[in-house]
Structure 1
Amino acid sequence: MEYDVVIVGGGPAGLSAAIRLKQRAAKDGVEIGVCVLEKGSEIGAHILSGAVMDPRAIDELIPDWKEKGAPLEVEVTEDRFLFLSETGARSIPNWMLPDNFKNHGNYVISLANVTRWLGQQAEALGVEIFPGFAAAEVLYAEDGRVKGVATGDMGIGKDGQPTENFQRGMELHAKYTLFCEGTRGHLGRQLQEVFKLRDGADPQVYGIGIKEVWDIDPAKHQRGLVIHTAGWPLDTQTYGGSFLYHMGDNQVVVGFVVGLGYTNPYLSPFEEFQRYKTHPAIRAFLEGGKRVSYGARAITAGGLQSLPKLVFPGGALVGDEAGFLNASRIKGSHAAIKTGMLAADAAFDAVQAGRQVDELSAYPQAFAASWLHAELHKGRNFKPWMSKGLYVGTLMVGIEQKLFGGKVPWTLRHRHWDHETLEDASRCKPIDYPKPDGKLTFDRLSSVFLSNTNHEENQPTHLTLKDAAVPVNVNLKTYAGPESRYCPAGVYEFVADEVAGERLQINAQNCVHCKTCDIKDPTQNIVWVAPEGGGGPNYSNM
């Protein structure tokens, strides 16, 4: 199938790019063929974010979004920032908070629902959207440029042989292909290696965000209240924090982010999140309520200095595929929309000019001149400072942001990839996590059930190992099997084996596509590849 532009990923970045392309075509009275591939069963099925949304980018993309019914309905009414000890909470006065923690004019949203609405806008403009089709392979022309992607074959059994349901994948060719897969996209990762896009960039660093949606007692609900915390249950040297946002309909979203540069292999982000909910300041909102949704997703946190080169012959990296999230503001959806627009403008102009081989250099040039670049530059030192510990990080971020407005002459660097930071288990203290009570705290399997995750069981596992012996011989022996703890979905288990003593069991059916294993595995032996399209979580209001 031939298109002018193929877009891989039906999230905010991909859909915004598609919308912008069609808007430009309508304005100029020309035709442009645009399609979007989405591996989820529907648009929004794999979208998970906090989320408080800055409307600046959507104002630019669709100025009349309110009239068109965009699901941005709950405006932030109050900000609270708490430093937690095990039993206490100290509130920071609003006048002391840097601007990056202030949310006046922003909206508490379900990003999954906003994405569904963007999909409707794109289809109304004539964008062809193919949900349930995972882009599995990058296609290259003879001259080395990207000429499109191929979707994965359907109906391949666990033995690698076609079943009676076999359906061959499709090749989609384009003048330009925009990769908008989100954090740690598996094709984007390949492209960064093939075209050496990371040369000169700092290592990318990540966090894992784990989130639940709760129906709570109406008497405890404060529509538009936004709470962020730092401190307990994490130690002061481990980067992380929480969010609790009050939406409409007496619902709150509660979540926890742990930086994947942590050092203790016994740490479990999922269990830390469960502990966090028992804090008196948090459980007061949740007790008597009911958990209705669960999910998890890795987020990029490296900022400006970790961005790769954005373009290569035949295509570009857009949104969180490249790492545009602003960790200092805990926001990325506005950056995804903005970069989608910038990439679309460059692709549209190139297509209309008849260029098909050159790089879309106008895209990074436009980013460098944009308000988004200025915003990311202002907050570029947030994550490096916070990685130095809670107290030093808080002090230095406060000085940089509050006193200098981010206008400082230095830029801190990221020195290590997250998979390089684990210490040997022999040098670390095991962490004793309490058992779940089934009311406020829960286990992994009951949580995954609420994510509506499903995969066709008779298919090759999409969680591949370069060497099947490494999990036991290296990861278990040296690091006490960290994959059994950093996965928030119970995918990885070490079980007894009559021959080997222990072996790694991969429950791929549970995978919520968070990509944490692909990032944190200390030997980089786990490689996440796309399963059959339509597999994975089916998030509704996340």
Structure 2
Amino acid sequence: MVERETMEFDVVIVGAGPAGLATAIRLAQQAQEKQQECTICVVEKGSEVGAHILSGAIFETTALDELLPNWQDLDAPVTTKVTNDEIYWFNNDNKATAIPHFATPKSFHNTGNYIVSMGNVCRWLAEQAENLGVEVFPGFSAHSLIIEDDTVKGIVTGDMGLDKDGNEKDGFMPGMELRAKYTVFAEGCRGHLGKQLINQFALDADASPQHYGLGFKEIWQIDPAKHKQGNVVHGTGWPLAGDTNGGAFMYHSENNQVVVGLIVDLNYSNPHLSPFDEFQRMKHHPVFKDILQGGERISYGARAIAKGGLHSLPKMHFPGGLLVGCDAGTLNFAKIKGNHTAMKSGMIAAEVIFKALCNAQAHSDLTEYAQAFKQSWAYKELHQSRNFGPAMHKLGKFIGGAYNTLDQNMFGGGLPFTFKDNTPDHCTLVDKNQADKIDYPKPDAVLSFDKLSSVFLSNTNHEEFQPCHLQLKNSAIPIDVNLVKFDEPAQRYCPAGVYEVQQVDGKDEFVINSQNCVHCKTCDIKDPSQNITWVTPEGAGGPNYPNM
């Protein structure tokens, strides 16, 4: 058995995203106000804070205004105000119809919001946390849970220096035990420890299945003559067809740059669909092409998004800890925003935990968190938009869209109907012979690109010869089941070219190129056999996003 160093803290926070850092800052603020010592540790699997952060992002400052009211004086990287909103229905590959604001849900409107890089916002938040005495440890993955007497007592960081078979290499360093009175899990969407906690403590027993989208984002340097700083474009329709929902976006940020992206809901049914290729051909629509042509693509990334909303929200408390932010699924998909609600969930967690610490409690089940969250504006937002996603799934794009516009604009989310989607995303694929094959055009290397050149722009890197972090429960299933029934959809739903089916000695073989993984978690979500489990690789592995 490996001997591990142990460190003790009052609170350990897993993940240096907006939820985790807001938790840390609010805890430290209260400790400072009460002149009480509170040791707080944040572990982050990225090589630096922000390296794994990918978000659109239109940022609503509601939570930041509460957390750090003087954020503008502290030089927060929140400076580009939204100046104009454009919303389109993409009729086909050449035509788009502008939709007036009164005909769209008011939750789509972005007056008063900012175009930001959430990676840079998180880097800044980490600085504020450290200024308050919080210890932030990037490059350390939270590999496993410490559970004793059915209570979470902390986490174990990942071992460094193992070969692909799990044997120790030269320079092997065992992970540390980070023990805490309370542990907060803020790993982001489909956090691998959060997933274990939900299963172990049956936190989702009363919830609908969580639903997800796969979000793509690229940053482009464009012709200054085409740049309109603060302009925001959203749209839906083409190229997504049939029962495939989602939406496109383009934001004019600073320095003659635009961010362009597509969100594809992962409840699609066609196993031949490739979300990556849908995104690439989307950029050929004139709404995007006219802006991007002549520009240079400088960054690429992809990430799953938890979009189930209130009906999919699990219980967020358990003995010894809390789930916050997208680890629980607090994103408000009606707004296409989750950073502000994630931060608020973390701030509430900090207040509940600090009160428990002041009362000399440790490792208790903080049941009061449920009521505190329910009394917050974040819960109110999620309640108002509770039917948004399920209505689209149940009623389709047109009727569902009309219902949502009526519900949000006229009734403030108060129509007395409840829509739920109880079909998990991995159960929606139809047999390959029942679905139309999709003929995607070859990338032109001007507006559209292949997966490998895209992964190169994500600066993804993993230490060689380490254990594969994409684990198969049964190695035969990809060929014997998924290939036969669904033409092995992992070849297409992965946005990084991780999965391939190759011919080896005349036989099909499933190949995992784990070094390409951008940590989007789509395989863990969409695999129809639920045969792939994403776990953390060695700390600092994965993408290194500079401004995403």
TM-score of the superposed pair, with normalisation by structure 2 = 0.98
Alignment of 1:117-128 (within 5 A): 117-128=124-135
What secondary structure, in the 3-state scheme, does the structure 2 residue paired with 1:389 have?
Answer: helix
2:188 corresponding residue in structure 1: 182
Match for 2:101 among 94, 106, 116?
94
2:160 counterpart letter in structure 1: M
Query: Quick check: 1:367 aligned with 2:370?
Result: no
Residue number in structure 2 paired with 1:392? 399
CA contact (8 A) 2:18 2:339 kept: yes
Counterparts of 1:103 and 1:514, CA distance in 2: 26
Equivalence for 2:460: 453
| Whole-angstrom distance in 1 between the partners of 2:258 and 2:363 | 48
Query: Do structure 1's residue 331 and structure 2's residue 341 form an aligned pair?
Result: no
Aligned to 2:409: 402
What pairs with 1:5-404 in structure 2 (closer than 5 Å)? 5-86=11-92, 87-141=94-148, 143-387=149-393, 388-404=395-411
How many corresponding residue pairs?
540
Q: Is the contact made by 2:23 and 2:346 (CA closer than 8 Å) also made in structure 1?
A: yes
Q: Which residue of 1 aligns with 2:492?
A: 485
Q: Equivalents in 1 of 2:493, 2:171: separation in Å?
A: 35
Distance in structure 1 (CA, Å) of the matches to 2:51 and 2:368: 32
Pairing 1:474–2:478 present: no
Aligned-partner residue type, residue 247 of structure 2 = G
Structure 1 residue 267 displacement after superposition: 0.4
Where does residue 451 of structure 2 map in the other structure?
A: 444
Check the 8 A contact 1:517/1:526 in 2, yes or no. Answer: yes
1:421-442 deviation per Cα after TM superposition (whole angstroms, max 9, x unaligned): 0000010110000000001000
Q: Residue 213 of structure 2 contacts residue 306 of structure 2 at CA under 8 Å; is this kept in 1?
A: yes
Alignment RMSD (CA, Å)? 0.8
Structure 1 runs of 4+ with >6 Å offset: none
Partner of 1:519: 525
Aligned 8 A contact 1:9 1:179 in 2: yes
2:469 to 459, 462, 472: 462
C-alpha distance after superposition, 1:241-293 (max 9, x if no partner):
11100101000000000000000000000000011000011101100100000
Q: Percent identity?
A: 56
Partner Cα distance (1:447, 1:476) in 2:
26
- Quote the offset at 1:362 in angstroms: 2.4
Q: How big is the shift at 1:96?
A: 2.9
Contact 2:321 2:363 in 1 (8 A): no
Residue 4 of structure 2 is matched in structure 1 by: none
Is the Cα contact below 8 Å between 2:243 and 2:269 reproduced in 1?
A: no
CA offset at residue 463 of structure 1?
0.3
Cα deviation per residue 1:145-166 (whole Å; 9 max; x = unaligned)? 1000000110000121000020
How far apart, in 1, do the equivalents of 2:433 and 2:102 lie?
45
Q: 1:507 corresponds to which residue?
A: 513
Amino acid at match of 2:331: L
Shift of residue 236 of structure 1? 4.2
Which amino acid in the other structure matches residue 439 of structure 2? D
Deviation at 1:393, TM superposition (A): 1.5
Q: Distance in 2 between matches of 1:159 and 1:190?
A: 23
Unaligned runs of 5+ in 1: none
Runs (5+) with no aligned partner, structure 2:
1-6
Amino acid at match of 1:244: M
**What residue identity is the alignment partner of 1:109?**
V
CA–CA distance in 2 between the matches of 1:99 and 1:345? Answer: 31
Once the 2 structures are TM-superposed, how far is the Cα of residue 237 of structure 1 from its aligned partner? 2.1
Secondary structure in 1 aligned to 2:205?
A: coil
C-alpha separation in 1, matches of 2:336 and 2:481 = 35
Q: Secondary structure at the match of 2:171?
A: strand
User: 2-side partners of 1:508 and 1:284: how far apart?
Assistant: 36
* 1:428 alignment counterpart: 435
Between the aligned partners of 1:108 and 1:411, the Cα distance in structure 2 is 33
Describe the SS at the equivalent of 2:479.
Answer: helix
1:326 CA displacement: 0.5
What displacement does 1:405 show? 1.8
Amino acid at match of 1:429: D
